[in-house]
Amino acid sequence: MNALHIHRYHTGLAALLLLLTAGCSGKETVSPNEEPRVSVRYMHMGVAVDAEENNPYVMRQFPAAVAERFPGMALESEMLPEDPYTKTLLVQLSSGEGPDFFEWWPMRQLSELVAAGYLQDLTGMDILKRFTPDSLKGFTVDGKVYGLPKGLSIMATWYNKELFKQHGISSFPSDWPSFLVACETLKQAGVTPIVMPDGDRWFIQFGLYQLAASIVYAEHPDFDKELLAGSRTFTDSPWREALIKYKTLYDKGYVAAGSLDIGAAQAAALFNEGKAAMMFNGNWDYGRLTEDGENGTGTGNTVGAGGDSARDGATAFERGFMPLPGNEQGEPLLLSVGPAGGTVVNANTRHLSEVLDILAYQFDPESKLYALYKQNYDVFPMYKGEDLGIPVFDDYTMLMNEHDSVYFSNQAWPVGVADALCRGFQDWIAGHGTVDDILAAMDERLEALR
């Protein structure tokens, strides 16, 4: 049995936490016919189709494994779509209630909950030593750790290597002018260059943040710090260029028409069926964008919020995964890589020891639960020296050794600013508003939240 040792914690809880182990030491078991003594609540963003199949790990495998390992506990899992998830949690937390532990976003979104006193300090847990420093950064505030990360999230361009080769595009473009040439080549050949599910507005971020990495942050690495300090605005910044470049893809007809009527599942199906050459997305959607994995070798897992599995009968072809370049020729290409979401613990939980027992079991590499966890979240590099063994990511991994990367922009912004960005861009591609309207709305939202 692997023990979870706690080196240091809140002063009032130190004595208790030093006694915690990964097992159920000191707990009485119950017979199969008895009700569990403790019910622990867990929340995760996403859509629970038929109460479980959208994310079988969260809705079925996780609770079952906890019940098997800890007979005195019952884990109650709940999933909600991203917008109601955020609103529901904040209302519950502000009233001193809410789930015992839940999934949350890193960096700015995390620090807001820490400042409000909603999260437990997890500093000193032995298990933290297993994570990469980069993955822990997003869950560290003032030197204290408040969450256990899934790992690293990567925004990139999923592309059909075979369609590229068929039309004379030998390698993925490494700068913006070359990317436009590739799009025009595909379009002239009768191939839809890009499909995007703009009906699900948060997908708009997935292309924009890739462009902004090179356009905004290459010359202004402290842009977001200055923005939050009030010495910068969106209106008078390189974000104008990033938005205009992204809109160019729509104006030139490189993004499939009617994108505002396309949702995530339909866009993934069009890509998987070979009807579009590219889609802006991330490593978290590996399962949905690789029907049977790369050349029939993948797991078909679905991870991340709202993921539907890829459709049966999708065309088998070799996928690529590379950054959308916002840089001009000869200028540096920066990558869009940020800490993934992770698990945090409610400061007001009445079941702290039980939650920590569950987390110790889930993140123990030797446990049955960890094996299930990684089957569902195998696309996130998390532990030190962890090799994902997923060929489609190999080219991008090599780039990470050669190029600087930038966290996702919204990870540094107060919750609500990115929504103003996405809603404004939806209006723009629908023929309403301008780039100035979007930037002004972002500044207005930031000022209201700051």
Task: List the domain boundaries for the chain.
Answer: 11-151+340-376, 153-338+390-449
The confidence score (pLDDT) of residue 12 equals: 35
Q: What is the mean pLDDT of the chain?
A: 85
pLDDT of residue 28: 40
Residue 89 CA, distance from chain mean position? 18
pLDDT of residue 217: 97
Closest by Cα among 127, 128, 124, 147 to 9: 124
The answer to whether 429 and 397 are in contact (CB under 8 A) is no
Please give the pLDDT value at position 35.
59
Mean pLDDT, range 408-418, rounded to an integer: 91
Enter the tokens of residue 344: 């945090």
Distance CA 392, CA 415 (A): 32
Per-residue pLDDT, 386: 62
Tracing tokens 């620090």 back to the chain, one arrives at: 111
Mean pLDDT of 147-172: 94
Helix 368-376 and helix 62-69, axial crossing angle in degrees, nearest 10: 170
Average pLDDT over residues 112-127: 93
Q: Would you state the pLDDT for residue 30?
A: 45
Tell whether the model's pLDDT for residue 315 goes beyond 80.
no
User: Residue 131's pLDDT is what?
Assistant: 81
Q: What tokens does 49 get?
A: 């189709």
With a CB cutoff of 8 Å and minimum separation 6, the contacts of 401 are: none
Query: In the CATH hierarchy, which fold is given to the domain comprising 11-151+340-376?
Result: D-Maltodextrin-Binding Protein; domain 2 (3.40.190)
For range 31-49, the mean pLDDT: 75
pTM over 0.85: no
pLDDT at 47: 67
pLDDT tier, 145 (very low <50, low <70, confident <90, very high otherwise):
very high
Higher pLDDT, 113 or 302: 113
Check pLDDT > 80 for residue 164. Answer: yes
Identify the sign of the CA torsion 83, 87, 90, 96. negative
- Two tokens, residue 380: 């996130």
- CATH class of segment(s) 153-338+390-449: alpha beta
HEC string of 20-70?
CCCCCCCCCCCCCCCCCCEEEEEEEECCCHHHCCCCHHHHHHHHHHHHHHC
pLDDT of residue 19: 30
- Lowest-confidence pick of 17-31, 332-346, 391-405: 17-31
The answer to whether 11-151+340-376 and 153-338+390-449 have equal CATH topology is yes
Summarize the confidence of residues 391-401 as an average pLDDT: 89
- 78, containing H or E segment: strand 73-80
Decide if pLDDT at 26 tops 90. Answer: no
Specify the range with the lowest mean pLDDT, choosing from 55-59, 92-96, 107-111, 305-309. 305-309
Q: Write down the pLDDT at residue 48.
A: 52
Q: Give the confidence band of 32 by pLDDT, cuts at 50, 70, 90.
A: low
**Range in 60-74, 118-132, 150-164, 201-215 the model is least confident about:** 118-132
Model confidence at 298, pLDDT cuts 50, 70, 90, reads: very low
Rounded average pLDDT over 438-450:
93
- pLDDT surpasses 60 at 313: no
What percent of the chain shows pLDDT beyond 90? Answer: 66
